[in-house]
Amino acid sequence: MVVEERQRDIGGFLVGRLLPFRKKRQVGPFTFIDHMGPTTMNADHFMNVDQHPHIGLSTLSYLFKGEVEHRDSLGSHKVIKPGDVAFMTAGKGITHTERTPERLKTADGFEMHGYQIWVALPKELEEMEPRFDFYPAEDVISWEEDGVELKLIAGNAFGRSALLQGFSEMFLLDIYAKAEATLEFKDKLSGEMAIVVVEGEVEENGDKIGIGEMLISKTDEACGICIQGGTRIMIFGGAPLDHEPLLMWNFVASSKEKLEAAKANWMARKFPKIEGDDTYIPFPGI
């Protein structure tokens, strides 16, 4: 199954959304993927996403270029740089902002490119306490096989375990091929699997899949793909949850009642706030 990126505007720049997709709402526990850029930030064009809420999920931020300043209602404050892994777990409720760091707001500008990924929580953990985990780029497990560079961002794959394990069985890899290569996945990944082409192209059964497209395996036993030289892909997936999460705006939950309660609480401004930040993104359409 091949999914083409659908584009929309968010926080002042173009984002391409790959999940959810009509024919496939989830891949393992992954429920939502936003592609940020690639784009050039300049004096008139910076990232500036005001305070907004989440429940029932973890957000995973991963950049190839640029920086994002993260603040949340727990008091967390981190500047996310290329290769870092930021994992914010909303649980019963959290708010956060995403902005371009002040020191980068110059006329010179900079390149911005990365992904924000939502990982739905298992039903029994939907009401867990919020938390923020951060792993700098130098702590991310990386290795090379036959001219292919691999980074294990989260979960377990290729006989290795990332520092970030999350709250259900999953995997997320950043893979770059220096030259044409065949990647074999059998017995190296477990569960559902999808591939996002970040740069270059991959080939599957004679079809070429290019930038901004996603391949979703129809089975749990995908054997491999041919990846062209100079190509970067993201591979993600894992064991599906025992329920299909429901989405409403920035909320993920196992029931409509929980979604409606979160909506009402946000509109009544009952969510926790970031200290010293009075910004507020209204619920869409209200």
Q: Say which CATH number the domain at 173 has.
A: 2.60.120.10
Structural domain contains residue 277: no
Q: Is residue 247 part of a domain?
A: no
Q: Which of 183, 180, 168 is nearest to 234 (CA)?
A: 183
Residue 280, domain member (yes or no) = no
Q: What's the total number of domains in the chain?
A: 1
Mean pLDDT across 40-59: 92
Residue 283 lies in a domain: no
Structure confidence at residue 221 (pLDDT): 59
Assess if residue 91 is contained within a domain: yes
Average predicted confidence (pLDDT) for the chain: 89
Predicted pLDDT of residue 226? 87
pLDDT for the residue 11: 40
Determine, yes or no, domain membership for 284. Answer: no
216: helix, strand or coil: strand
CA geometry: angle 233, 91, 196, nearest 5 deg: 10
What H or E segment, with its residue span, contains residue 279? none
Q: What is the pLDDT of residues 186-243, one digit of tens each?
A: 889 999 888 888 999 888 777 787 887 777 776 665 667 889 999 999 999 999 999 9
| pLDDT value for 95 | 98
Residue 140 within a domain:
yes
Question: How many whole angstroms separate alpha carbon 285 and alpha carbon 165?
Answer: 36
User: Which whole number is the average pLDDT over 267-273?
Assistant: 97
Domain that includes residue 116, residue range: 2-238
Q: How confident is the model at residue 35 (pLDDT cuts 50, 70, 90)?
A: confident
Which range among 146-150, 183-187, 270-274, 275-279 shows the weakest confidence by mean pLDDT? Answer: 183-187
Alpha-carbon span 99 to 6, nearest angstrom: 23
Q: What is the pTM of this model?
A: 0.91
